[in-house]
Structure 1
């Protein structure tokens, strides 16, 4: 048989982004718990400064990504967010 091997940038057809999230002080744990259950959330990070949580988001299309953004922004306890799409990956 044959095996097809694609370059990583060809395999990766997902839209990826990092969303920084601010939450009500006493609801950060609740926000994290809710986001853990969302299949579009690939990873979560604690952070310092203005934001409480950084979420790596993934979606198969812009329409799906738009729905992810809406879902996260409606999460109880989320007060504000900012999202940056990942466009290109640079080799080190």
Structure 2
């Protein structure tokens, strides 16, 4: 099970997977050994599937990118955002006003991974409803 420390660690690794363990430990205010053990466990249980490089979007034209609009039950936004941090497929999350409480940007390699991610995110406690649209093309302005 992923806890708050795991989510924070995943967020840091998502930002820079080459950040030294000692630096991660200092930022998380835990020992180096704790960070190393967490990373090993997250790899072993399949949460971390790979360490990768983030490239410019135009270099990854075949990736599946989408926007997921999320309605949150009551005052559960903070808990839902925290849970979303545990999903490597969620690139960014934005709070909004209006019909939807959150907008999550999804980035996955395949449609199968996209489907699996939708299924998992919809199970997050506190999410009342979602509506997702795949991004077909991006225009520079």
Q: What range is the shorter-chain TM-score in?
A: 0.7 to 0.9
Structure 2's unaligned 5+ residue stretches are: 1-55
Does the residue aligned with 1:22 lie in a helix, a strand or coil? strand
Using structure 2 for the length normalisation, give the TM-score: 0.57
- Count of residue correspondences: 86
Question: Taking structure 1 as reference, are residues 8 and 51 closer, same or farther at Cα in structure 2, changes over 3 Å only?
Answer: closer
**Higher helix fraction: Structure 1 or Structure 2?**
2
Q: Which residue of 1 aligns with 2:103?
A: 54
Structure 1's consecutive aligned runs of 4 or more residues displaced over 6 angstroms after TM superposition are: none
Matches within 5 A, 1:72-87: 72-87=121-136
Structure 1's unaligned 5+ residue stretches are: 1-6
Using structure 1 for the length normalisation, give the TM-score: 0.85
The structure, 1 or 2, with the larger RCO (C-alpha pairs under 8 Å, 6+ apart) is 1
**Higher strand fraction: Structure 1 or Structure 2?**
1
